[in-house]
Structure 1
Amino acid sequence: MVEVLLVEDDPGDVLMTQEAFADYKVANRLTVVSDGESAMAYLRKEGAHAGAPTPDLILLDLNLPRMDGREVLAELKEDPDLRRVPVVVLTTSDAEEDIMRSYNLHANAYVTKPVDFERFIEVVRQIDDFFVSVVRLPRR
């Protein structure tokens, strides 16, 4: 089973991502947190997340409350226990500055969320398929 952590504050995007995973791959487990601080607590197994598994893949929005995605990306890529976890930035921003900054912070991919529902589902499925079926992920 592949553990995927979705860090997303938009309930509509969470629902569409959950639908894409549910319809496409039953072997994956998708966990959702809605802000950057919760993401770091989950990744560091703090508080209520003490027993949380280390994800095999992180889908990270940039525009998050409490701690934005750029800060999350910077912190997790500096952490020797977390830096190998692949991170796909999945965001509405197509700003060149956000793209460059994300890659400078060692994001593994940058994907702009499609506005169209069907296209959004297809993009999430392609990300999932690539990181589950094509790429060999490091062991946890």
Structure 2
Amino acid sequence: MEPPNHFDEILLVEDNPGDVRLIKEMLKEGGLAPTVHVVTDGADALAFLHGSGDYSDTPRPDAILLDLHLPRKDGEEVLAEMNDDVKDIPTIVLSGSQQGADLKLNDIEDEVDACVEKPLAPDTFKQLARSLQQ
């Protein structure tokens, strides 16, 4: 399956309510209006992506914004357990610091499309989205 040429549905995997709010504001300020589905732990992220349990009727996201520090299953476990049906979804790892982003990207660079520092600026996300759509 080819990557989407738009991002109408985004899965945001983030356990910090403040970061969730900031990311939603960033998308709005960037002129983007996707539906943002929020899950707060890695186990729910996998259930959402695999359409299981409470998430049996959820849409397939066009992009995944994934924090690495999550309860129940961390972001690296989520990446490891994503099946082939969802591995082609553009995945952007969110890190609390650029140093952390650089270190983590070295470990998981084959599994993600980008690793960026939080908070993500609207223009940065728009540029990143355009690059993932090409």
Normalising by structure 2, what TM-score?
0.83
The residue aligned with 1:108 is: 113
Q: Distance in 2 between matches of 1:125 and 1:38?
A: 29
TM-align CA RMSD = 2.0
Give the conservation status (yes or no) of the 8 Å contact 1:21–1:125. no
Give the match's secondary structure for 1:27: coil
Q: How many residues align?
A: 126
The residue aligned with 2:39 is: 33
Does residue 46 in structure 1 map to residue 52 in structure 2?
Answer: yes
Instruction: Quote the offset at 1:41 in angstroms.
Output: 0.5
Normalising by structure 1, what TM-score?
0.79
Give the conservation status (yes or no) of the 8 Å contact 1:91–1:112. yes
Instruction: Quote the offset at 1:134 in angstroms.
Output: 4.5
RCO comparison, higher one (Cα < 8 Å, 6+): 2
Aligned identity (percent) is 37
Instruction: Quote the offset at 1:56 in angstroms.
Output: 0.7
Where structure 1 has 5 or more consecutive residues not aligned to the other structure, the ranges are: 114-119
Of the three residues 81, 86, 92, the one matched with 1:88 is: 92
Instruction: Quote the offset at 1:107 in angstroms.
Output: 0.8
Where structure 2 has 5 or more consecutive residues not aligned to the other structure, the ranges are: 1-6
